[in-house]
Amino acid sequence: MAKTNIYLNFMGNTEEAFNFYKTVFNTEFAAPIMYLKDAPPHPGMPPLSEEERNKVMHVSLPILGGVNIMGTDMLESMGHKLKVGNNFTIQLEPDTKEEADKLYNALSQGGSENVAPHDEFWGYWGVCLDKFGIRWMFNVMKQI
């Protein structure tokens, strides 16, 4: 069955972010975290520093409705640049306002650009930028 995954890039704190998300969604990683040191050396690539070898190559975490978030650490030594906060939004559609409030309250802690969930003409909506620079939208559609 087809599914949607959302891939997140971080500049060195993927593991910290995903451990936080694991507590928010009360779930476990889909597989053990893969670190760059777990991958075979890539021919023609310069060796990684010890610090870089301990960065996350891949992690996957189920969240809501069969969706997984996946992530990786970007490396400055490889020319990676990250523009935090405006590169994407993860939209969540929980079943109830209570679940939307719970998720919003957890994800908005230490964050910014918060609009608490509230009633709109289409449903119950809110948004926040979490402390890791990831934008989350919460939307509980009105029942017709």
Domain check: are 45 and 69 in the same one?
yes
Q: Tokens representing 13?
A: 């704190």
Mean pLDDT of the chain: 90
Query: Locate tokens 């930028």: which residue?
Result: 129
- pLDDT at position 17 is 97
CA-CA-CA-CA torsion sign (66, 138, 143, 122): negative
Total residues found in the chain within this entry? 144
Residue 4 pLDDT exceeds 80: no
Dump pLDDT digits (tens) for 9-58. Answer: 898 999 999 999 999 999 999 999 999 999 887 788 788 899 999 999 99
CA 83 to chain centre: 15
Q: Tokens representing 67?
A: 């969706």
CA distance 128 to 11: 20
Lowest-pLDDT choice from 70-84, 86-100, 101-115: 70-84
Maximum C-alpha span of the chain? 59
Lowest-pLDDT choice from 19-33, 76-90, 96-110: 76-90
Domain check: are 3 and 67 in the same one?
yes
With a pLDDT cut of 70, the percent of the chain lying above it is 94
CA distance 74 to 10: 6
Domain check: are 56 and 98 in the same one?
no
- Which amino acid type is present at position 51? E
- Which amino acid type is present at position 13? N
Contacts of residue 119, Cβ cutoff 8 Å, sequence gap at least 6? none
The pTM of this model reads 0.78
For residue 128, CA distances in Å to 5, 28, 95 come to 20, 23, 19
Domain check: are 5 and 69 in the same one?
yes
Domain check: are 48 and 106 in the same one?
no
- pLDDT at position 64 is 92
- pLDDT at position 125 is 94
Domain check: are 127 and 138 in the same one?
yes
